Structure 1
Amino acid sequence: MVSFLALLPRALTTFLYAVAALLRFYANTDTIPIQLCPLTILQWSFLAFTLGTTALLANLGLEWHAGNRSRHREIEKRDRADQERERAARHARIQNRFFLLQTRHQLAPSPDTRAALTDFLSFLQEYGE
């Protein structure tokens, strides 16, 4: 239904301009009034042209609004992706800092570290081959 409403101003504009052209260029504008209304064919043509221009302006407003809405959606997606990228980079920096601190702590000369490395070396020698 919404897609039909988006096409309505374009179709209406085309129809009204066609009617205006038909009335203006293919009718005798001086002598043939329409019996239901005191307007001449030329006045009917001008009315159809005015209504067509109004429909064209309405269509322009709808297209402008749709373009702004899609542009705002793209900007929002880009901002969200930038925030996610920054969050991932911050997480990676924290993780790298933790890894460095953990490695420094494990390599600090202490009896516990020495014993753990000795056990690990003996494990590698026993099961490494």
Structure 2
Amino acid sequence: MVSFLALLPRALTTFLYAVAALLRFYANTDTTPIQLFPLTILQWSFLAFALGTTALLANLGLEWHAGNRSRHREIEKRDRAAQERERAARRARIQNRGFILQTRYQLTPGRETGAALADFLSFLQEYGE
């Protein structure tokens, strides 16, 4: 139903412009007003043209609004993705700092693992941030 409503202004514009053209170019220009409706065929053509233009402007407004809405959604998605990346980077930095602190703690008790843990600590400090 929503997709049909999106097509309605476009179809209505096309129909009204077709009616305006039909009345304008295929009608006798010397027609008199019909008693039931006090407009000539050329006036009906102008009315159909005016209504078609109104429907066209309504369609342009709807398309503009839909474009702005989708653009705002894309910007919002990009902002969320950037926030998630920042959180993940922050978590990784905290985790790396935790590993460094744990390694420093493990370096203090004994001398036998000192060299290996010192190398590991320097690796984490160099590539962890």
* Same fold (TM > 0.5): yes
C-alpha distance in 2 between matches for 1:34 and 1:7: 34
C-alpha distance in 1 between matches for 2:91 and 2:8: 51
TM-score under structure 2 length normalisation: 0.82
C-alpha distance in 2 between matches for 1:93 and 1:42: 76
**Structure 2 equivalent of residue 33 of structure 1:** 33
Secondary structure in 2 matching 1:77? helix
C-alpha distance in 2 between matches for 1:52 and 1:12: 7
Secondary structure in 2 matching 1:36? coil
TM-score under structure 1 length normalisation: 0.82
* Number of aligned residues: 113
Percent identity between matched residues is: 88
C-alpha distance in 2 between matches for 1:92 and 1:107: 22
RMSD: 1.4
**Structure 2 equivalent of residue 105 of structure 1:** 105
Query: Match of 2:100, as an amino acid?
Result: L
1:17-28 pair list within 5 angstroms: 17-28=17-28
- Extract unaligned runs of 5+ from structure 2: 114-129
Secondary structure in 2 matching 1:14? helix
1:1-129 pair list within 5 angstroms: 1-108=1-108, 110=109, 113-114=110-111
Query: Match of 2:63, as an amino acid?
Result: E
C-alpha distance in 1 between matches for 2:20 and 2:100: 79
1:28 is displaced (CA, Å) by: 0.7
- Extract unaligned runs of 5+ from structure 1: 118-129
